[in-house]
Amino acid sequence: MRKSLPSFMLALCLGWALPIAAQTPCPSFSVVVNTPEDELMLALNGAEKPEDQIAALDKFAQAHPDSKFMPCVNEYYTSTYLKMNNLDKAIEYGEKDVAANYADLNLTVNLLKAYVNAGKATEASFDLIGKAPELIKTETSVSRPAKATDEEWQKMQQENAELAKQDHAFMEYALFQLLPHVTDPKKRIQSLDAFSKGYPDTPNGPQLNFQYFMAYEMAGDAAKADDYGEKAIAADPNNVEALNLVAYDYALARRINLDKAAAYAKRVLTLAPARKKPDGVSDDQFKAQQNSQLGMAHFVVGYTNLLKAGKSHRAGPAIQEFKTASELLNANPQMQGQALYFLGYAYEDVYPANHHAAAEALTRAASLNNPMQAQARDLLAKVRAAR
């Protein structure tokens, strides 16, 4: 029977922060001098702290609740609360504009940032991504100024094309950050299909195929999962996350291709230590992510070694891999528990059996919440009886 990848495996791969080009707030609004709107904008631009900007927005909203300028006020609330990391408030005001059918690119980007940072993968968040291409097209398309030279016009076109490219990349980033929070595989697939259709000129083959792989794994569709997993690796042979998850699938989830699983995992052991730390990521975060990938790869290699040893009871290589994996997977108790269970199993399988080491590993495995916890307890009881 086919077993799909467990949810804790599918949640391992979140991307890093992505820079995004600055957008123009409220592009459809104009402000007349010496009006309440002008006074508000002067206060916002002159404020030294976000709290001062919120105070200015509160003052205007209380005095002019029916102003046609309120969608822009809500947009500034959204961006300001986002700067303050008050994500609930940022989402609250952004959604007011969405409910009123107001949208522009700046609002869309800031509201998506709030959804991403809050881990809220709502239908509204995916709707924003789906509607963004038209906004990007509108706000990055310009008419040629009458006095612009050919060189100036070409430069303007290039700059706007680059802005559009960055905006598309951000929407893709937002999609891939939100998807891990979606537990329904059908909704994941629908979101990926909608993105593929709405962004035909912004294909990230490796990442898109990788997300399809995980979605079809969750859905239990082996054929499509395998197809997309291999596509992801073919498009980017250095995709550590894809290599690890496909290797785990081939080895532990389904036991269909131990040789390929071992090859992919060993590739991770070469690639992961050479990865460069992305900008905006702390040393501790990067080290934890690196250890998780390395630990998973050692675990898969150990498992394939254990199965290949078979009746020879030559479990020495597997034991070393499981020991290394269990040390590296400290931050992931569900994976660490599995590594410790198989470490204990391998100590029992080797000839002569090492009951003491097996009991030690199995005791730790039984104490962790992991898929092999019950098996660890059962095997531990047998080991203790045999000592």
pLDDT in tens, 166-187: 999 999 999 999 999 999 999 9
Q: Is residue 249 part of a domain?
A: no
pTM: predicted TM-score of the whole model, two decimal places: 0.78
What is the extent of the structural domain holding 180?
7-201
Q: Provide the domain count of the chain.
A: 2
Report the alpha-carbon distance of residue 340 to residue 327 in Å, rounded: 9
Q: Is residue 265 part of a domain?
A: no
| Pair (155, 293) in one structural domain | no
Q: Residue-wise pLDDT tens for the chain (387 aa)? A: 445 555 555 545 544 444 455 578 999 999 999 999 999 999 999 999 999 999 999 999 999 999 999 999 999 999 999 999 999 999 999 999 999 999 999 999 999 999 999 999 999 999 999 999 999 999 988 889 988 999 999 999 999 999 998 999 999 999 999 999 999 999 999 999 999 999 887 656 678 898 999 999 899 898 899 899 999 999 899 999 999 999 998 998 888 899 999 999 999 999 999 999 888 789 999 999 999 999 999 999 999 999 988 777 788 999 999 999 999 999 999 999 999 999 999 999 988 899 999 999 999 999 999 999 999 999 999 999 987
Report the alpha-carbon distance of residue 178 to residue 185 in Å, rounded: 13
Boundary-marking domain end, from 177, 201, 225: 201
| Pair (281, 376) in one structural domain | yes
Q: Is residue 196 part of a domain?
A: yes
| Pair (179, 299) in one structural domain | no
Q: Which residues contact 107 (CB under 8 A, 6 or more apart)?
A: 25, 75, 78, 94, 97
| Pair (283, 193) in one structural domain | no
Q: Is residue 374 part of a domain?
A: yes
| Pair (192, 277) in one structural domain | no
Cα–Cα nearest to 138, from 108, 166, 172, 104: 104
Q: Is residue 376 part of a domain?
A: yes
| Pair (51, 197) in one structural domain | yes
CATH number assigned to the domain comprising residue 357: 1.25.40.10
Report the alpha-carbon distance of residue 3 to residue 336 in Å, rounded: 19
Q: Which residues contact 334 (CB under 8 A, 6 or more apart)?
A: 6, 8, 368, 369, 370, 371
| Pair (176, 27) in one structural domain | yes
| Pair (16, 161) in one structural domain | yes
Boundary-marking domain end, from 201, 235, 260: 201
Q: Is residue 237 part of a domain?
A: no
Report the alpha-carbon distance of residue 226 to residue 286 in Å, rounded: 29
If you count them, how many residues does the chain have? Answer: 387
Boundary-marking domain end, from 153, 179, 201: 201
Cα–Cα nearest to 199, from 145, 126, 275, 120: 126
- pLDDT number for residue 202: 64
Pinpoint the alpha helices (H) of 21-122.
Answer: 36-46, 50-63, 70-83, 87-99, 105-118
Structure tokens at 152: 């100036």
Q: Is residue 242 part of a domain?
A: no
- pLDDT number for residue 24: 86
CATH number assigned to the domain comprising residue 105: 1.25.40
Report the alpha-carbon distance of residue 79 to residue 56 in Å, rounded: 14
Structure tokens at 75: 């947009």
| Pair (189, 309) in one structural domain | no
User: For residue range 220-236, what is the model confidence (pLDDT) as tens digits?
Assistant: 898 899 899 999 999 89
| Pair (38, 172) in one structural domain | yes
Scanning the structure block, which residue is given the tokens 């898969």?
Answer: 300
Q: Is residue 124 part of a domain?
A: yes
| Pair (163, 277) in one structural domain | no
- The DSSP letter of residue 275 is P
- The DSSP letter of residue 27 is T
Report the alpha-carbon distance of residue 299 to residue 293 in Å, rounded: 10
| Pair (145, 288) in one structural domain | no
